[in-house]
């Protein structure tokens, strides 16, 4: 399965009518936040495949009945766990709180609360279906891995816990500029590969058989 993941910065090489010819056979798209909704809508219209995303700290508050608050034809999976194309995927958006009363920004404690709620959902689905989480998409990185030196780009400690508990094969995020160019050099935690997709990554993923 070929996955296209994007975050933070529009890549002009993708924003073209020749995209499907330049990068063919994409099966699934992930958005890791801070992407113009028009850009996500363009990608999903070109490929006509599922596009799952989480909001970044520069995105608006998600309101299901307000079209301008989410990307049309795409699925916001912030705080959710979903099954798509044979993969089980969970997501948490937002960044560390660095401006008072900011949208999609959280303290470490607030993100821990969101993570615990999501963990209960994942655990229930995994137990019910006798399978495990394949991928996790977030806007921010785990604390101490791919985060930057400034406060605004600090990762979340709760993500480290989620990774250690559920051991997804991949944890995808954006938000920071600290990343490895080659997939083979990405850091990992107990077998989970941590990948900064900013501004894009193309991945070949083998689906698990349960």
Judged by phi (left if over 0) then psi (alpha if -120 to 50, else beta), residue 191 lies in left
Do the Cβ atoms of 23 and 47 come closer than 8 Å?
Answer: no
Rounded Cα–Cα distance for residues 168 and 18 (Å): 33
Reference 177, options 200, 148, 142; nearest CA is 148
- Is residue 203 very low, low, confident or very high in pLDDT (cuts 50, 70, 90)? very high
Between 117 and 180, residue with greater pLDDT: 117
pLDDT, the chain, mean: 92
Residue 120 has pLDDT above 50, yes or no: yes
Domains and CATH numbers, the chain: 2-204 (3.60.21.10)
What are 82-113's pLDDT values in tens digits? 999 999 999 999 999 999 989 999 999 999 99
Residue 9 has pLDDT above 80, yes or no: yes
Rounded Cα–Cα distance for residues 103 and 97 (Å): 9
Do the Cβ atoms of 41 and 64 come closer than 8 Å?
Answer: no
The pair of structure tokens assigned to 9 is 């910065």
Mean pLDDT, range 5-23, rounded to an integer: 92
């Amino acid at each position: 399965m070929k996955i296209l993941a994007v975050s933070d910065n529009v890549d002009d090489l993708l924003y073209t009518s020749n995209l499907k010819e330049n990068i063919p056979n994409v099966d699934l798209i992930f958005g890791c936040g801070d992407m113009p909704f028009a850009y996500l809508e363009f990608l999903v219209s070109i490929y006509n495949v599922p596009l799952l995303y989480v909001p970044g700290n520069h995105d608006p508050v998600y309101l299901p009945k307000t079209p301008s608050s989410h990307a049309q034809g795409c699925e916001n999976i912030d705080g959710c766990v979903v099954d798509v194309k044979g993969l089980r995927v969970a997501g948490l958006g937002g960044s560390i709180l660095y401006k008072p009363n900011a949208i999609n920004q959280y303290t470490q404690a607030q993100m821990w609360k969101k993570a615990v709620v999501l963990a209960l959902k994942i655990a229930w689905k995994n137990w019910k279906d006798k399978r495990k989480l394949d991928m996790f998409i977030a806007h921010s990185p785990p604390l101490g891995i791919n985060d930057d030196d400034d406060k605004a780009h600090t990762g979340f400690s709760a993500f480290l816990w989620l990774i250690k508990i559920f051991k997804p094969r991949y944890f995808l995020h954006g938000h920071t500029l600290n990343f490895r160019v080659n997939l083979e050099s990405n850091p990992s935690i107990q077998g989970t590969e941590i990948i900064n997709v900013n501004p894009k990554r193309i991945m070949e993923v083998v689906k698990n058989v349960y």
